[in-house]
Amino acid sequence: MDFQFIIQQSLSSAIGVNAIMFALAAIGLNIHFGYTGLLNFGQAGFMAVGAYTVGVMVVSFNISLWIAFASGIVVSILLALLLGIPTLRLRADYLAIVTIATAEIIRQIARSVTFKEYLGGSDGITGKFGMDFYNLNPFPGGLETPFLRFTPQDLWVVIVGWVLVAIFSFFTFLIMRSPWGRVIKAIREDEDAVRSLGKSVYYYKMESLILGGIAGTIAGFVYAISRQSVQPDNYSTALTFFAYAVVILGGAARVFGPVVGSIIFWFLIVFIEQVLRQAVSADLIPEWLMNPNQVGQVRFMLVGLSLMLLMIFRPQGIFGDKKELALDARA
Amino acid sequence: MSRAIGKVLAALLFTLLLTPLSAAHAEDTAVISGQIVDLKGKPIAGVELTIAGPNSQETVITTVTTDAAGNWSYTPTVAGQYFVTINPDTLPSGVGLTEPDKTTKSVVLFALTKSPPPVQFLTGPGPIKATMLETATQLAVDGFILSIMIALAALGLSLIFGTTGLTNFAHGEIITMGGLGAYMFNKWYGIHIIPAAILAIVLTVVLSGWAQDRFIWKPLRKRGTGLIAMLVVSIGLGLLVRYTYLYIFGGDKEQYAQYAGQAGWQFGSLSVTPKATITVVIGIVLLVLAIMWLLKSTMGKASRAVADNPALASASGINVEKVIQSVWILGSVLAGYAGVMMGLNQGVQFIMGSDILLLIFAAVTLGGLGTAYGAIVGSFVVGMFIQLSTLFIPTELKFVGALFVLILVLLVRPQGIMGRKERIG
């Protein structure tokens, strides 16, 4: 087995585009789920909105990438309002069902033949729509070291991406220390108590939904720009569940929880996948037990299993504080 | 005599002169034409064709319609390339183009004096076109079948939710276990599908019903794990089980060995397969039995008491754990059968259950979370709506319509159709 290659792939993934994307999406989910106690199962929908707005506006309508970014954020705010208005007054599981349904609606509309002309159907949108961004790339060459490897384009995305992650984490840190953040956390613990203090729980929840949604949309931007393509089936509900695994792994209601969670998550996923792949091709694992096609499926099984085990045995994740997190509340 | 000869000669000459002349005259007005006939050579009247050109498909000149002899023609005024597009929607019911994607043919007119060969559109048997009412009837029947499938799964989900508070995102995997289990016994072990289905339901009850509750949810309840934490656990379980199915069975849609391609019974334009009819009847029987169980049996009454107030039920001497166990078993019988039913009518795939999970949630939410009868009512609303909505929206977007309606209903009546208001707050 080529351990240097395995480590290189795993490390590059752990600080690469995937980790950044999931860190951003998970920061948003952390605001929803960790701090406010909102069960948003439609984070994939927010990401799809971000990615598709960029793709459609730049490729189909030839609008500048920067305007597309701004519009993506506006659309995500509208989506949050659409999700929040009917459900935020209801019990938590209603939001869960409506958000997961909406994310699925977005994906099915995106891949439909009916809107193929603009949204590209099941093939999605491909094109050089990140060029406005890549033209600013100051790095002439990529990175090639024994343990890390990035193309010049990836390097630029990674650097800007981590700056974004840092900004969002710092922002989360600030707002959760503010009076607003204290109300948000109080809503998670006991909605009725907050209501009795004269706060409008509904508006606070809505603001939280919008903020977290914007983080998800920006994760969608990163995804779309880094691949220069948008594919509808990447935005399935599994994406949301991966992001949940990241939040819970790192520790919900912790500023750095999603970031650390994402790094560890992607290191482990790629590490295990590469080890299995090499073991299968070196015939260390018999053919009847696992063939090369099945290696990719192990990823999903592992994520499912770790979500279960974490939630059962260590709901606070790696860095979380059990006292901070009262997930038991039947909100 | 000579005059007579002269007259004949003149006439001959005239004919000789005239014949090429009149022929030349006919060549002057070239026509683009064709005839549309069905498989038996019978002409088809009233088919619309669009003529575009010259040399551009964008400039539409006119639309012509075939006459009673199936003939159509167009007399161009300039030479060039013309494009003839047939409108397949105007073909009668049961007739279609042999090459459905080639609706446009091009024809080149070199000079206005020479007609090009007739444009051929070959026809063969095509889709049977039904009237709106006939389509609606067929869709309603399909919707009814879908409704029964959803109701079977939704009732179990709703009962489990009612008694334990668990929003089970792994419920779709119970359905899949029924469908794939039957496939496994049927194809791997060569058992006929009917005993295989029964074995599969037994397997589902043991694994998804009894063991799932006994080894996952019961310990979690004992630990006092919160409902939201359990919801996340169910998502993880669903993901793990679904991809284990994929790992074992592969990703393709498969059919059972028996009854795969069954000819439908025709009632006028309506077509229903015998297998759909039989599975629907069994489904209805199961639903009725489940409702009778809820209404009449001691355990059923106890389960409603637990759903209402677990602490009070427990205090009045009801064995809550036993009630929950029987609800899980009932739920997995229903869901396992729903899987077999789906498998027989649509084929089995690792994702079959989670694909309709959202519809099940929509049905349960529409009917009112945690109300058993509401789940059935909601299932019929969702199932019928999905199929009937395809009268107006593209088929590929039918699920979108149903989920959209769910969101709308939550806006105006959040407790659902049969729900009570205090449950939602």
HEC letters along B325-341: HHHHHHHHHHHHHHHHH
- Rg of the Cα atoms in chain A: 20
Q: What is the pLDDT of residue A93?
A: 77
Q: Is A284 exposed, middle or buried (0-12, 13-18, 19+ CB in 10 A)?
A: exposed
In chain B, residues with a C-beta closer than 8 Å to the C-beta of A190 are none
Side chain identity at residue B256, one-letter code: Y
CA distance B359 to B154: 9
Q: What is the pLDDT of residue B261?
A: 76
CA distance B122 to B117: 15
> Taking CA B324 as the corner, what is the angle to CA B170 and CA A100, rounded to the nearest 5 degrees?
25
Q: What is the average pLDDT score of chain B?
A: 84
Four-residue CA torsion sign, B373, B374, B375, B379 = positive
Confidence of residue B421 (pLDDT cuts 50, 70, 90): low
Residue range B371-400: mean pLDDT, rounded: 88
Question: Crossing angle for the helix pair A3-14 and A17-29, nearest 10 degrees?
Answer: 40
Identify from B221, B243, B369 which residue to disrupt to test chain A contact, counting A C-beta atoms within 10 A and taking the largest count: B243
Q: What is the pLDDT of residue B129?
A: 65
Q: What is the pLDDT of residues B271-325, one digit of tens each?
A: 888 999 999 999 999 999 999 998 899 998 898 888 888 889 889 889 999 999 9
A146 touches chain B (CB under 8 A): no
Confidence of residue B93 (pLDDT cuts 50, 70, 90): confident
Calculate what percentage of chain A has a pLDDT beyond 70: 97
Confidence of residue B21 (pLDDT cuts 50, 70, 90): very low
Is 70 exceeded by the pLDDT of residue B6? Answer: no
If you measure CA to CA, which chain B residue comes closest to A239? B239
The bridge status of strand B123-125 relative to strand B95-97 is antiparallel
B395 touches chain A (CB under 8 A): no
Residue range B221-244: mean pLDDT, rounded: 90
**In 3-state terms, what secondary structure has residue B104?**
strand
Inter-chain CB proximity A97 and B362 less than 8 Å: yes
CA distance A171 to A173: 5
A85 touches chain B (CB under 8 A): yes
Is 80 exceeded by the pLDDT of residue B220? Answer: yes
A319 touches chain B (CB under 8 A): no
Q: What is the pLDDT of residue B422?
A: 53
Contact A310, A169 (CB under 8 A): no
By mean pLDDT, which of A46-60, B96-110, B244-258 is the weakest? Answer: B96-110
Is 80 exceeded by the pLDDT of residue B102? Answer: no
The CA–CA distances, whole Å, from B372 to A207, B150, B227, B364 equal 35, 13, 20, 9
CA distance B371 to B364: 8
Residue range A121-150: mean pLDDT, rounded: 83
A117 touches chain B (CB under 8 A): no
If you measure CA to CA, which chain A residue comes closest to B408? A86
Q: What is the pLDDT of residues A220-255, one digit of tens each?
A: 999 999 988 899 999 998 899 999 999 989 888 889
The bridge status of strand A143-144 relative to strand B32-35 is unpaired
Query: Would you state the structure tokens that stand for residue B337, as one six-digit string?
Result: 């059968």
Contact B51, B104 (CB under 8 A): no
Confidence of residue B19 (pLDDT cuts 50, 70, 90): very low
Confidence of residue A326 (pLDDT cuts 50, 70, 90): low
If you measure CA to CA, which chain B residue comes closest to A315? B229
If you measure CA to CA, which chain B residue comes closest to A192? B425
Q: What is the pLDDT of residue B25?
A: 47
If you measure CA to CA, which chain B residue comes closest to A111? B396
Residue range B51-60: mean pLDDT, rounded: 81
Give the containing element (helix H, strand E) for B412.
Answer: helix B398-412
Residue range B208-228: mean pLDDT, rounded: 90
Query: Would you state the structure tokens that stand for residue B405, as one six-digit string?
Result: 């309606």
Q: What is the average pLDDT score of chain A?
A: 88
Contact A225, A130 (CB under 8 A): yes
The winner for highest mean pLDDT among A3-17, B54-68, B118-132 is A3-17
Contact A258, A26 (CB under 8 A): yes
If you measure CA to CA, which chain B residue comes closest to A292? B247
Top pLDDT among B88 and B387 is at B387
Q: What is the pLDDT of residues A186-216, one digit of tens each?
A: 998 888 899 999 999 999 999 999 999 999 9
Inter-chain CB proximity A94 and B410 less than 8 Å: yes
Q: What is the pLDDT of residue B2?
A: 56
- What phi, psi does A328 have (nearest 5°)? -75, -15
CA distance B256 to A112: 29
Confidence of residue A134 (pLDDT cuts 50, 70, 90): confident
CA distance B332 to B209: 5
> Taking CA A72 as the corner, what is the angle to CA A66 and CA A74, rounded to the nearest 5 degrees?
110
Confidence of residue A28 (pLDDT cuts 50, 70, 90): very high
Contact A213, A46 (CB under 8 A): yes
Is 80 exceeded by the pLDDT of residue B41? Answer: no
In chain A, residues with a C-beta closer than 8 Å to the C-beta of B237 are 304, 308
Is 90 exceeded by the pLDDT of residue A119? Answer: no
Q: What is the pLDDT of residue B121?
A: 81
In chain B, residues with a C-beta closer than 8 Å to the C-beta of A322 are none
Of A101, A112, A301, the CB nearest to B247: A301
In chain A, residues with a C-beta closer than 8 Å to the C-beta of B414 are 86, 89-90, 94
Side chain identity at residue B262, one-letter code: Q
Please provide the size of chain B in residues: 425
Inter-chain CB proximity A102 and B246 less than 8 Å: no
The CA–CA distances, whole Å, from B59 to A243, A259, B50, B99 equal 52, 58, 10, 24
Q: What is the pLDDT of residue B5?
A: 60
Confidence of residue B10 (pLDDT cuts 50, 70, 90): low
Q: What is the pLDDT of residue B424?
A: 47
Q: What is the pLDDT of residue B28?
A: 63
Is 60 exceeded by the pLDDT of residue B425? Answer: no
In chain A, residues with a C-beta closer than 8 Å to the C-beta of B242 are 300, 304
Confidence of residue B42 (pLDDT cuts 50, 70, 90): confident
Residue range B337-354: mean pLDDT, rounded: 93
Of A97, A113, A244, the CB nearest to B396: A113
Confidence of residue A166 (pLDDT cuts 50, 70, 90): very high
Side chain identity at residue B309, one-letter code: N
- A178-196 b/e with 16+ CB inside 10 Å = b? eeebebbbbbbeebeebee
Distance of CA B279 to the CA centre of its chain: 17
**Min CA distance, A1 vs chain B (Å)?**
24
| Global confidence as pTM | 0.79
Q: What is the pLDDT of residue B11?
A: 55
**In 3-state terms, what secondary structure has residue A165?**
helix
CA distance B286 to B275: 16
Top pLDDT among A18 and B37 is at A18
Residue range A183-187: mean pLDDT, rounded: 92
B165 touches chain A (CB under 8 A): yes
